[in-house]
Amino acid sequence: MKNLQTMIKEQGQVFPGNVLKVDSFLNHQIDPELIKAIALDFAAYFNRSSITKIVTIEASGIAPALMLASHWGIPMLFAKKSQPSTLKNDHVYHSPVYSYTKQTETRISIDKAYLTSQDRILIIDDFLAQGQAVLGLVDIAKQAGAQVAGVGICIEKSFQAGRNRLEAAGLDVYSICRIAALDQGKISFLEEDKFCGQ
């Protein structure tokens, strides 16, 4: 089975501003074998039985979220960053998400029809840094009266505030790779070689 940490070590590139480029396998070009391994790792940690839906944000969260939804046989739902012409304002839940990397605010939205108080969702995303994207999804879940079973992250920048913010909100956060630092182009991990199935 492919190992996310090994792929990051071999192909990840560090850019100024604590940016980790992993677009050769995770969020531009995608290695489907790695995405499957990631989905199985999430499936091993979270308890499928109570989860009705996987929720993520376009675009980079879609691949791991879909693969897990496919493995579990439940729907996947991705929040949109721009509102389609077919969705009117009063038909969506929305929340503002600030990106520290891009220094812009995006309004994410989900059709009210697809998230209800009957849902217990698992949130999946490719990166966790400041936690803004996940908190936006949690805000939308709250508006819908849906429960959040947990948060599954591919790559966590553990030197940033995201995990603390999510844990302070009472969320169970599971990250496959936790990065301790991105100093001078070097990537160091909190734990070595932790990856389900290895």
Stretch near a copy of itself under the rule CB under 8 A, chosen from 74-82, 147-155, 164-172, 182-190: 74-82
Q: Which residues pair with 121 in a beta bridge?
A: 53, 148
- The nearer residue to a copy of itself, 110 or 128, going by C-beta atoms, is 110
One residue of 40, 66, 161, 181 binding a copy of itself per CB under 8 A? 66
10 touches a copy of itself (CB under 8 A):
no
For every residue of 94-151, DSSP letters joined together read EEEEEETTTTEEEEEEEEGGG--TT-EEEEEEEEESSSHHHHHHHHHHHHHT-EEEEE
Q: What residue numbers does the annotated binding site for xanthine cover?
A: 20, 27, 157
101 touches a copy of itself (CB under 8 A):
yes
CB 73 within 8 A of CB 51: no
State the maximum Cα–Cα separation within the chain, in Å, rounded to a whole number.
47
Q: Which amino acid, 148?
A: V
CA distance 176 to 162: 15
CA distance 140 to 183: 35
3-state secondary structure 62-86: HHHHHHHHHHHCCCEEEEECCCCCC
Q: Which of residues 19-58 bind a copy of itself (CB under 8 A)?
A: 19, 21, 23-24, 28-33, 35-36, 58
- Extract the tokens encoding 110: 């989900």
Q: Give the nearest distance from C-beta 196 to a copy of itself in angstroms.
A: 19
85 touches a copy of itself (CB under 8 A):
yes
Stretch near a copy of itself under the rule CB under 8 A, chosen from 1-9, 59-67, 161-169, 183-191: 59-67
One residue of 6, 43, 48, 80 binding a copy of itself per CB under 8 A? 80
Q: Which of residues 124-183 bind a copy of itself (CB under 8 A)?
A: none
Where on the chain is the footprint of a copy of itself (CB under 8 A)?
13, 15, 17, 19, 21, 23-24, 28-33, 35-36, 58-59, 62-63, 66-67, 69-70, 73-78, 80, 84-86, 101-102, 110-111, 113-114
